[in-house]
Amino acid sequence: MPVGTLANVKTLTPDQLKATGAQMVLSNTYHLHLQPGEAIVKAGGGLHRFMGWDGPMLTDSGGFQVFSLSEMRTITEEGVTFKSPRNGDVIEMTPERSIAIQNDLGADVIMAFDECPPYPATRSAVELATARTYRWLKRCIVAHQRSDQALFGIVQGGTYLDLRAQAAADLRELDLPGYAIGGVSVGEPPELIEQIVKATTPQLPEDKPRYLMGVGTYREMAQAIASGIDLFDCVIPTRLGRHGAALVRGERWNLKNACFQHDHTPLDATCDCYTCTHFTRAYLRHLIKAQELLAYTLLSIHNITELVRFTTAIRQAILDDRFAQDFAHWLTPADASRSES
Amino acid sequence: MPVGTLANVKTLTPDQLKATGAQMVLSNTYHLHLQPGEAIVKAGGGLHRFMGWDGPMLTDSGGFQVFSLSEMRTITEEGVTFKSPRNGDVIEMTPERSIAIQNDLGADVIMAFDECPPYPATRSAVELATARTYRWLKRCIVAHQRSDQALFGIVQGGTYLDLRAQAAADLRELDLPGYAIGGVSVGEPPELIEQIVKATTPQLPEDKPRYLMGVGTYREMAQAIASGIDLFDCVIPTRLGRHGAALVRGERWNLKNACFQHDHTPLDATCDCYTCTHFTRAYLRHLIKAQELLAYTLLSIHNITELVRFTTAIRQAILDDRFAQDFAHWLTPADASRSES
């Protein structure tokens, strides 16, 4: 899922986004609550209609953002109180509030409000957060009002695999329509992410969607899919685009590099995206160097297309029983001598 | 003509631009010479192919920009020497150089290199500049190498109508494929622009394209068309878009205004552009307030569509002999009590 934080995937129209092959979009409850506020989105017909995206959509609960972006936060059993970074207002976010906001936003999949511990964190801190996340999940289930929205639970547990296992077991009992692994990609080394995903995913039901939150490099996705993950969200393709970088057949290219100045070939001659079929590397480099916003649009189009193609190819390889063989390069641990893509 | 300064109309793909109904695009010789340089554009197959625009295209000569944007410039009979604002390089621009660059860029219409006096300027300064512009034009004609590019001459003369008349008479003698009125909209009051256009346009051949440079409000265009002008270029629709303003049926709206916060209607329900058929005022306001770049794309799409529709409606009204009647509102002098659109 490309990330549409503030009810848009940055620099892309819904038509451009659809043409990338992306099927589902994520939006952020935390950001949309702060602006424009869920009342406006609801009055505008819900998030799909408001932002003009008629495909599947997921909202996160705001948990991750409350813990990672807010200052002056206070955590109690009831919920979290924090100061709005936008206008300084004191805001209280609780499981009930998060679900009410997500009910108003109206995405197809909504997420339970969780406590996401930082990395590193002591075992006792993570134990507390994981247990609280479970109690909050049960309050979310009670608060959830719309049968047309699927509520997913989130497995926390930090880097402690036994806490992850316990959380997964607790969640399974609740028979939810989908399950997520949260609290990864919060600063821990790649091999730890891999370890957590490898150990935790098989403990979640195979017949339900399993969603790894906030992850999206080639390698992370391939390895997570090998463990059974079905769904990802990540800002990487669009954020890289806004930094002048392109994902090209497994590599990350900085298009500001002088080697592209006179390169009048497509970014990727094998790619059928709008950018690759209409423009050259020299043109993209020119736009980036000139700080023309169109560069970000064109690179985001390509980067999303590239990652959608990557996961689509994995899906086909699984169906053809060629996954381990064809994607062996990505299923080995990251080589520190290579740039991480 | 929407303005595509640096080989792109800011925030728009060529497909989005084409969908607005815009037929012709302007690009800037001065800017493209500084970056990426005409050699790269030429090696990339010329400006049309480089930027992916297969419709008609015009490049200005760089004259206006050399005089309005450069520091440390020295003007001699040979040309202008200035310091590149990009890297401090000393650059010499002459009529021959401007034409050579425009030959390399490869637009369908290219402009003569002219000296554009500021406003206000003394009569003797404008006399000198106008006479030099004429001598430079003759050097441009000699230097011009490509028969597939039409070279337009530019009438200067500041606010001195007799100097404008003399310049127009001199240019007519040269039997050029098209004629432009330059050196307007450089700071003079609207009524002076109107006076210059009204007096000068009829002195240029009716059977050749007549182009008023750098102009593009509703009123300026309507009045100039009434005098016989066929072609305009202006950054207004895209620049307004990037400032969160929309052109709606003759008015200029600031979409940041609180009145749009809960307004879930299209920007203009009678407009068939992508923006008006997919999004609401409340959504556009949200994007602008959140400084989402997509806002600039969506507003630029609408604003260009709106001005193309305006001039298309004028064209039809002329054919139907209803222009003076239907556009009477725009053919009267600007009312200082109204916001200028």
Q: What is the DSSP string of A251-278?
A: EEEETTSGGGTT--S-S-TT--SHHHHH
Residue of A nearest to B34 (CA): A290
* pLDDT tens digits, one per residue of B212-252: 999 999 999 999 999 999 999 999 999 999 999 999 999 99
| Phi, psi at B4, each rounded to 5° | -115, 70
Tell me: pLDDT of B161 over 80: yes
The answer to whether the Cβ–Cβ distance between B292 and A36 falls below 8 Å is no
Q: What is the pLDDT of residue A336?
A: 53
Residue of A nearest to B280 (CA): A50
The answer to whether the Cβ–Cβ distance between B40 and A6 falls below 8 Å is no
The answer to whether the Cβ–Cβ distance between B294 and A35 falls below 8 Å is no
- Mutation pick from A283, A284, A298 vs chain B, by most beta carbons of B within 10 Å, is A283
* pLDDT tens digits, one per residue of B91-141: 999 999 999 999 999 999 999 999 999 899 999 999 999 999 999 999 999
Q: Are B11 and B296 in contact (CB under 8 A)?
A: yes
| Phi, psi at A28, each rounded to 5° | -110, 120
Question: Alpha helix locations (H) across chain B?
Answer: 14-19, 29-34, 38-43, 47-51, 63-69, 95-105, 123-143, 161-173, 190-200, 218-227, 236-242, 274-278, 281-289, 294-319, 323-326, 328-331
* pLDDT tens digits, one per residue of B36-86: 999 999 999 999 999 999 999 999 999 888 888 777 789 999 999 998 888
Tokens coding A200: 């935790």
Q: Which of B15, B35, B292 sits opposite A6 (nearest CB)?
A: B292
Catalytic residue among A60, A104, A114, A268: A60
Q: Are B71 and B85 in contact (CB under 8 A)?
A: yes
Helix (H) or strand (E) holding A110: strand A109-111
Is A60 catalytic? The answer is yes
The answer to whether the Cβ–Cβ distance between B283 and A44 falls below 8 Å is yes
Strands B251-254 and B245-248: antiparallel
Tell me: pLDDT of B153 over 80: yes
How far is the alpha carbon of B139 from chain A, nearest alpha carbon, in Å?
31
Taking any CB pair shorter than 8 Å as contact, residues of chain A touching chain B are: 6-8, 10-16, 35-36, 40, 43-45, 50-52, 261-262, 264, 274, 278-280, 282-283, 285-287, 289-290, 292-294, 296-298
Tell me: pLDDT of B182 over 90: yes
Work out the number of other CB atoms within 10 angstroms of the CB of residue A118: 15
The answer to whether the Cβ–Cβ distance between B50 and A280 falls below 8 Å is yes
Q: Which of A13, A264, A287 sits opposite B297 (nearest CB)?
A: A13
For residue A37, list chain B residues with Cβ-Cβ distance below 8 A. Answer: none
Taking any CB pair shorter than 8 Å as contact, residues of chain B touching chain A are: 6-8, 10-16, 35-36, 40, 43-45, 50-52, 261-262, 264, 274, 278-280, 282-283, 285-287, 289-290, 292-294, 296-298
> If you average pLDDT over residues B282-301, what whole number do you get?
98
Question: How far out from the chain centre does Cα B216 lie?
Answer: 7
Mean pLDDT by 10 residues, chain A (341 residues): 98 98 97 97 98 98 84 89 88 96 98 94 96 98 97 97 98 98 92 96 98 95 97 97 97 98 98 98 98 98 98 98 97 63 50
Q: What is the ipTM of this complex?
A: 0.96
For the CA atoms of chain A, what is the radius of gyration? 20
Domain spans, chain A: 14-234, 247-331
**CATH architecture for residues B14-234:** Alpha-Beta Barrel (3.20)
Residue of A nearest to B4 (CA): A292
Q: What is the pLDDT of residue A179?
A: 98
Q: Which of A7, A50, A286 sits opposite B35 (nearest CB)?
A: A286
| Percent of residues, chain B, with pLDDT higher than 70 | 98
Q: For A325-334, B143-152, B327-336, which range has the lowest pLDDT when averaged over its residues?
A: B327-336
Residue of B nearest to A39 (CA): B262
> If you average pLDDT over residues B253-273, what whole number do you get?
98
The answer to whether the Cβ–Cβ distance between A297 and B297 falls below 8 Å is yes
Tell me: pLDDT of B334 over 70: no
Is A104 catalytic? The answer is no
Catalytic residue among A15, A148, A230, A233: A233
Nearest to A278 by CA among B337, B54, B9, B333: B54
Instruction: Give dist(CA B4, CA B304) in Å, integer.
Output: 12
The answer to whether the Cβ–Cβ distance between A290 and B6 falls below 8 Å is yes
Catalytic residue among B60, B104, B114, B268: B60
User: Could you tell me how many CB contacts below 8 A there are between chain A and chain B?
Assistant: 111
For residue B45, list chain A residues with Cβ-Cβ distance below 8 A. Answer: 264
Instruction: Give dist(CA B184, CA A156) in Å, integer.
Output: 66
The answer to whether the Cβ–Cβ distance between A8 and B279 falls below 8 Å is no
Nearest to A107 by CA among A9, A203, A26: A26
- Mutation pick from B294, B297, B298, B300 vs chain A, by most beta carbons of A within 10 Å, is B294
Residue of B nearest to A258 (CA): B36
The residues near B43 (Cβ < 8 Å, ≥ 6 apart) are: A262, A264, A282
Q: Are B255 and B289 in contact (CB under 8 A)?
A: no
Question: What three-state secondary structure class fits A94?
Answer: coil
Q: Which of B40, B283, B297 sits opposite A261 (nearest CB)?
A: B40
Question: What three-state secondary structure class fits A65?
Answer: helix
